């Protein structure tokens, strides 16, 4: 379209140059050239109108496309803002849970230390009781052995007494 406009513009320019050079043209020739110039101008105006209408239509099409695109982007932005707000809330909730888990971990660690100390104390008591039991068992065995020896001695003495009588 711009090539067409250049051709029309150059034709109009040539006519103007010719008119200036031939200032003294006879009137009918001037009328014909004026008519040719008017015709070229009308043709140029028609082509410019067509191009303006075409450009206007393209501009309207682009504007409508941009409006639709902006509407879509606005919807996406709204959706992303909602998602971001939900994620922000979830993050805050998880941070609170993390703090609570940290506190619980600390309490469980303290309880575990208490149980460990209690277990060590219980183990010490069991060891002492086992040691005492072993000692008592040894004393019992010693007493049983002593008693057996005494019984054997008493029987031996009874035999001797019965033999002596």
Q: How many CA atoms lie within 13 A of 119 on its CB side?
A: 6
* Model pLDDT for residues 66-99, shown as the tens digit of each residue: 999 999 999 999 999 999 999 999 999 999 999 9
Angle, helices 2-21 vs 27-164, to 10°: value is 150
DSSP 62: H
Are the CB atoms for 19 and 25 separated by under 8 Å?
yes
Tell which wins on pLDDT, 119 or 16: 119
* pLDDT band of 156, cuts 50, 70, 90: confident
């Amino acid at each position: 379209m711009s090539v067409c406009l250049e051709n029309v513009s150059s034709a109009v320019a040539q006519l103007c140059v010719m008119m200036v050079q031939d200032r003294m043209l006879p009137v009918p020739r001037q009328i014909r050239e004026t008519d040719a110039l008017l015709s070229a101008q009308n043709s140029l105006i028609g082509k410019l109108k067509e191009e303006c209408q075409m450009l206007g239509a393209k501009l309207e099409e682009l504007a409508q496309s941009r409006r639709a695109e902006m509407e879509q982007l606005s919807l996406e932005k709204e959706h992303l803002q909602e998602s971001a707000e939900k994620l922000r809330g979830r993050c805050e909730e998880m941070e609170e849970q993390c703090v609570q888990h940290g506190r619980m971990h600390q309490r469980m660690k303290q309880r575990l230390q208490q149980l460990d100390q209690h277990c060590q104390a219980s183990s010490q008591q069991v060891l002492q009781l086992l040691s005492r039991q072993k000692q008592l068992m040894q004393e019992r065995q010693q007493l049983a052995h002593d008693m057996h020896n005494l019984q054997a001695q008493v029987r031996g003495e009874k035999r001797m007494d019965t033999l002596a009588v």
